Amino acid sequence: MNTEAIIVENITRGYGGPPVLQGLDFRVSRGSIYGFLGRNGSGKTTALKTLAGLIRPESGSVRVLGGDPWTFGAGERQRVGYVSEKQSLPPLGRVAKLVKFCAQLYPAWDHELCDGLLNRFQIPLKSRVAKLSLGQQRLLAFVLALAPRPDVLLLDEPAANLDVVARREFLDQILELIRDGKKSVLFSTHILSDVERVADRVGILSDGKLVVDESLDDLKESVRQLRFFGFQGPPPAEIPGALRVRRDKNELMAVLRLNGPDAPAQIAARLGCQVEDNPLSLEDLFIELTRNSR
Amino acid sequence: MKPLQQFFALLRFQAFASPGIWIFPVAFSFGPCISLMSGDTWWGLSLPLSSSTMLFMIPMMIAAFVFIPELWTGMTGANQQAQQNLQGCSADFLLTRAVDRPVVFRARATLYWILILLSAVILLALASRKPSVSMEVPLKPPGAGMVYLETLPGAFVAKATESTETIFLPAGRLAIAGTLVLLSIACSAFWQGFVFAISGLKFKRWIFFAAVIGVSCSPFVLLAGGNHFLENLVFLILKHPVAAVGLTGIFVAAAWAFSAARAKRIEYP
């Protein structure tokens, strides 16, 4: 069995103007949760729509569970759940009808899970979709994607409009889904704490390609904020390879991607100064890595 | 799930997910019904054809609602809820369920034609309750009434005065209703092809609304030009009914095949 649930190889895609995705490349392993980050307009939704088979890449290839999602039929689609950024559920239908419609399409539909989640998220079955709050509509879309227990779950900004409690329960459900080690989740979000809480790998999209694709621990380990101080003379204007350098009197504050644990000391020795190593939060990391991009 | 089961599940779901679409057949047939059923005597075809714009325009709206509900996404002047209501079953939702893409198309197309044919049935049913009508035709220019006598079966001159003659058409109202239905079916096929032709384009919404404005203005353009295009078309259909039905059938099949092929390739960015 292939250990990769999603393989994206060098895909390019635009909408008539400059390309939104340019050479996007990443893989999502089975049993993992991949957090997809990026600024507005960085191409997250386009990438997810490509994976959901709603659009095709102009070049490169996309494989979800070994197949091209553009050509997926009902059988393959049973194994892929998708919640779009602007999930437009039929507004005038009642929740019960919507659930019934979806349940009949999926032989593996987990009625117990579905009823339990609707109950927990306090989504009334008799209500029309339009009467639900935006957060409830989002949760309903999530329940409909989760109830077939898909092998791959694609979520585009799933936590938008959710209150703190609902978001926590939603994240718990994601963790629950992958407990068997065979299922995979790819989700895009702007809520970095969600990524820190559940994702075991993170991709940061910038200008249509990934500037980061590694485990969260590795990322935090490799991108550090270093304070260089105690220079013999005036500190240098630049530090080669630094993502950002800020001068403060006789000190330099730099964000660097490091090669190993000894790298800070080696740089300090080269510059003839002392160094203090400060870890960065994911939010700080994200800002540093995407500051000058879209 | 087998394709046939998928088809019925999708058809049922789409038919009731946006119940508002069922207003269309009534709206579609309302104007033509009023103009077709009014009066026992007509002075030419102006009155029965006066609401025929509805026949061209409403299938266009139905086609957009059923086939490309995404058209309403991001529409200026509509809030999120209104947009959502207009969208009904968007591709984002339907095409990412466990369904085959061609089955989604077939279910949508079937719903579309049910809506179109429902209005046709309403029109024909009403006309069949009162099929006969009299036509008062001026004697000048000579032979003005001949076209009715030649094209409508059973037509005869019931009365003649110095300036007019009254032609009784035993199934005249029904025949006119039939031609309008045939024209509406041909128009519906055209709009089905049209929405699929524009559905992949970047400016599809603008093209669609330009077409709506164009169709809305067409009666004024025709009136300004003194054009009897529609009347002549009706007589042509009445003269060659079998050929008209055959051609309409071919047109419907071609539009279906074209849109089925397009539906396979359409992207939903």
The number of beta carbons lying within 10 Å of the beta carbon of residue B163 is 9
Q: CATH top-level class for A4-207?
A: alpha beta
Contacts 24+ apart (CB under 8 A), A265-269: A267/A226, A267/A228, A267/A239, A268/A226, A268/A228
* Domain boundaries along the sequence of chain A: 4-207, 219-290
pLDDT of A184-209, one tens digit each?
Answer: 999 999 888 888 888 989 999 988 88
Among chain B residues, CA nearest to A56? B267
Task: Tell me: cis bond preceding B141? Omega within 30 of 0 counts.
Answer: yes
pLDDT average, residue stretch B60-84: 70
Average pLDDT value over all residues in chain A:
89
Do B219 and B99 have their domain in common? yes
Task: Say yes or no for a CB contact (<8 Å) between B97 and A104.
Answer: no
Q: Is A131 on the interface with B (CB under 8 A)?
A: no
pLDDT of B150-182, one tens digit each?
Answer: 888 888 888 888 888 888 888 888 998 999 899
Q: B122, B149, B170: which is the final residue of a domain?
A: B170
- By three-state DSSP, how is residue A62 classified? strand
Question: In terms of DSSP bridges, do strands B133-138 and B41-42 run parallel, antiparallel, or are they unpaired?
Answer: parallel
Do B35 and B118 have their domain in common? yes
Share of chain B above pLDDT 90, in %: 32
Q: A274: part of which helix (H) or strand (E)?
A: strand A274-279
pLDDT average, residue stretch B116-132: 90
- Whether the predicted pLDDT of B82 surpasses 70: no
Task: Say yes or no for a CB contact (<8 Å) between B88 and A90.
Answer: yes
- By three-state DSSP, how is residue A190 classified? coil
Q: What is the pLDDT of residue A281?
A: 86
Q: Is A56 on the interface with B (CB under 8 A)?
A: yes
C-beta separation of A257 from A222 below 8 A: yes
Find which of B97, B99, B204, B265 to mutate to test the A interface (most A CBs within 10 Å of its CB). B97
Task: Say yes or no for a CB contact (<8 Å) between A54 and B89.
Answer: no
Do B78 and B153 have their domain in common? no
Of the candidates A87, A93, A107, the beta carbon closest to that of B92 is on: A87
Alpha carbon dihedral B100, B102, B107, B112, in 10-degree steps, equals 150
Rounded CA-CA distance A103/A96 in Å is 10
Q: B170, B188, B218: which is the final residue of a domain?
A: B170
Q: Is A107 on the interface with B (CB under 8 A)?
A: yes
Give A176→chain B minimum CA distance, Å: 22
Taking CA atoms, B155 is separated from B4, B147, B235, B237, in Å, by: 48, 10, 14, 16
Rounded CA-CA distance A263/A269 in Å is 10
pLDDT of A251-278, one tens digit each?
Answer: 888 888 888 888 888 888 888 889 998 8
> Which residue range forms the structural domain that includes residue B151?
133-170
Q: Tokens 């919404």 sit at which residue? A: B205
CATH T-level fold of A219-290? Alpha-Beta Plaits (3.30.70)
Q: How far apart are the first and last CA of chain A?
A: 37
Rounded CA-CA distance B59/A158 in Å is 37
Token output for B254? 């071609």
Of the candidates B85, B90, B268, the beta carbon closest to that of A55 is on: B268
Do B152 and B193 have their domain in common? no
Among chain B residues, CA nearest to A47? B269
Do B152 and B118 have their domain in common? no
Give A260→chain B minimum CA distance, Å: 42
Q: What is the pLDDT of residue A292?
A: 66
- ipTM field: 0.85
> Nearest 5°: CA angle at B119, between B209 and B107?
75
Quote the pTM value: 0.86
Q: A65: part of which helix (H) or strand (E)?
A: none
Do B79 and B47 have their domain in common? yes
pLDDT of A214-255, one tens digit each?
Answer: 898 888 888 888 999 988 888 887 887 788 888 887 888 888
Q: How many domains does chain B have?
A: 2
